[in-house]
């Protein structure tokens, strides 16, 4: 096993990997940019190295600086987390060339699956079902012919895409050309690659993905599915495992195909095969994510496996310590991605100093977090702060535990999307599992579906302010020692009132 691992990432995923290293007796090395000097992952790691200014291109995306930090620290391996360089085949090869183990798939496997069109071509040869469409990018005249062949509506997608960039849904021929040009332009700006392909648009689809794990000795298993249909602008917001619509037979078929995809790609380590599911529960290959996923905790909770531990073991050359028949799913887990953004203001980013942080806990609650009270959230990176996961014996219990935890969660000084999850969890369609990739957009567009009273409600802000004014009128000012001050002009029998008690009283007014 490795003695020292560098984490080429930041935030909650860096903290997650650092914790796994500590559990395994591995020394952890953090890297940080100028604005991340005081970040939690830097504080948690055994060592930390500065790699440049805030701009990601000059720090977290700078391969040379990360490899230099690895050499200076004596790290034997690099864990890329997700995002940044995690799916960069050139980075994986550069690690190998430098004599450092990349904890993930090979650069060749990334190349095979990194381009969606190359992946579709490979899956066609492997007899994997995928949505009807083109196997490669095409110029506009051929795209127009293909659209007529498969029928509208169609979806245009960037071959090197992700995160909803370079995607356009087209319902008629007269809209195709402008959508094609827009998708190609956005793909070029976002990925440096303007290749665009076309596929049939599936109405009201569900997004279901299968976690796979492959060692370097030819063994590969699937670890159950995750439902990822709660999305905003093609980006996941909530995930759960197992999926409400997947039964044992569908799970087996989907898992076997995911393993076939992995073997066709020559894949090793953790990976995720994504499928789109139509209203008749037919599923089609969408793409493969060649890294650990943001939503991996829900799989960990229902399987009892630690995926980051497994990543380290497989990268060190060990065999998977179990067979497919040993994998059992128990209970239900749901994850909320907590972002520094304002859901009442078109999800505008909300950087700034966290002035107060009240954290949820209790049975069935897990938090993967990269924030702390007093930390300043930078504007320079993805606004993901933490992940809150609820686990229960069944879906109903997982939902109720998560609801309770969300009402305990408070982040002061910045805006977060915590209130959005409260709204989602009380929606009848979500509670009954009737969701698809358009569910969240419909919920947000429904002006008649009011938010419950909480800190994002204008009516409740006034209510809380009025109650707070009354409390402060009754309570004496608190001095620096946390004890109520006495006033020589007024007699009082008040006992000591701590700041925590005052905060508790104010928080009680939020419900």
Q: Which two tokens stand for residue 310?
A: 């497994």
Return the DSSP state at 133: B
Distance between alpha carbon 140 and the CA centroid of its chain, in Å?
Answer: 34
Rg (alpha carbons) of the chain, rounded to whole number: 25
DSSP-assigned letters across all residues of 397-434? HHHHHHHHHHHH-EEESS--SHHHHHHHHT-HHHHTT-
Residue 241 burial (10 A CB sphere; 0-12, 13-18, 19+): buried
CA–CA distance, 242 with 60 (Å, rounded to integer) = 34
End-to-end CA, the chain: 49
CB 41 within 8 A of CB 25: no
DSSP H or E segment with residue 283: strand 283-289
Tell me if 80 sits within 8 A of 104, measured CB to CB.
yes
Q: Which of 65, 184, 291, 337 is catalytic?
A: 291
Please list, in sequence order, all residues whose beta carbon lies within 8 angstroms of the beta carbon of residue 278, skipping any fewer than 6 positions away. Answer: 202, 203, 205, 284
Q: List the Cα angle 294/295/301 in 5-degree steps.
A: 135
Specify whether 93 is catalytic: no
Q: Which residues are catalytic?
A: 291
């Amino acid at each position: 096993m490795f003695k020292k691992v560098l984490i080429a990432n930041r935030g909650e995923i860096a903290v997650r990997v650092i914790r796994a290293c500590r559990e395994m007796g591995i020394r952890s090395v953090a890297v940080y940019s100028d604005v991340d000097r005081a970040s939690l992952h830097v504080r948690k790691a055994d060592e930390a190295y500065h790699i440049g200014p805030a701009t990601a291109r000059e720090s977290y995306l700078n391969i040379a600086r990360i490899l230099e930090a690895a050499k200076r620290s004596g790290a034997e391996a690099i864990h890329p987390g997700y995002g940044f360089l995690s799916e960069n085949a050139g980075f994986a090869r550069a690690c190998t060339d430098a004599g450092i183990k990349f904890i993930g798939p090979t650069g060749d496997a990334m190349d095979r699956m990194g381009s969606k069109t190359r992946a579709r071509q490979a899956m066609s040869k492997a007899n994997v079902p995928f949505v009807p469409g083109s196997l490669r990018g095409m110029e506009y005249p051929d795209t127009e012919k293909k659209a007529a062949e498969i029928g509208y509506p169609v979806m245009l997608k960037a071959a090197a895409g992700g995160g909803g960039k370079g995607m356009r849904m087209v319902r008629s021929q007269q809209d195709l050309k402008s959508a094609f040009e827009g998708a190609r332009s956005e793909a070029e700006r976002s990925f440096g690659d303007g290749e665009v392909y076309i596929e049939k648009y599936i109405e009201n689809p569900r997004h279901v993905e299968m976690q796979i794990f492959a060692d370097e000795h030819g063994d590969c298993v699937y670890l159950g599915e995750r439902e990822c249909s709660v999305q905003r602008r093609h980006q996941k917001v909530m995930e759960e495992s197992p999926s409400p619509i997947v039964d044992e037979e569908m799970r087996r078929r989907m898992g076997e195909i995911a393993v076939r995809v992995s073997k066709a790609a020559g894949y090793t380590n953790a990976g995720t095969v994504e499928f789109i599911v139509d209203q008749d529960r037919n599923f089609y290959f969408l793409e493969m994510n060649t890294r650990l996923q943001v939503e991996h905790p829900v799989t960990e909770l229902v399987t009892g496996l630690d995926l980051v531990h497994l990543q380290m073991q497989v990268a060190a050359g060990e065999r998977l310590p179990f067979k497919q028949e040993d994998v059992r799913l128990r209970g239900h887990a749901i994850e909320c991605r907590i972002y520094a953004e304002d859901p009442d203001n078109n999800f505008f980013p909300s950087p700034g100093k966290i002035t107060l942080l009240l954290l949820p806990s209790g049975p069935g609650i897990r938090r993967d977090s990269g924030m702390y009270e007093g930390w300043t959230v930078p504007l320079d990176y993805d606004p993901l702060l933490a992940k809150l996961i609820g686990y229960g014996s069944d879906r109903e219990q997982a939902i109720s535990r998560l609801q309770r935890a969300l009402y305990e969660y408070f982040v002061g000084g910045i805006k977060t999307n915590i209130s959005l999850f409260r709204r989602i969890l009380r929606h009848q369609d979500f509670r009954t599992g009737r969701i698809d990739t358009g569910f969240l957009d419909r919920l947000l567009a429904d002006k008649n579906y009011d938010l419950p009273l909480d800190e994002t409600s204008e009516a409740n802000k006034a209510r809380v302010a009025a109650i707070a004014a009354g409390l402060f009128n009754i309570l004496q000012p608190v001095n620096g020692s946390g004890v109520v001050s006495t006033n020589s002009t007024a007699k009082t029998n008040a006992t000591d009132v701590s700041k925590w008690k005052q905060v508790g009283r104010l928080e009680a007014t939020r419900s």
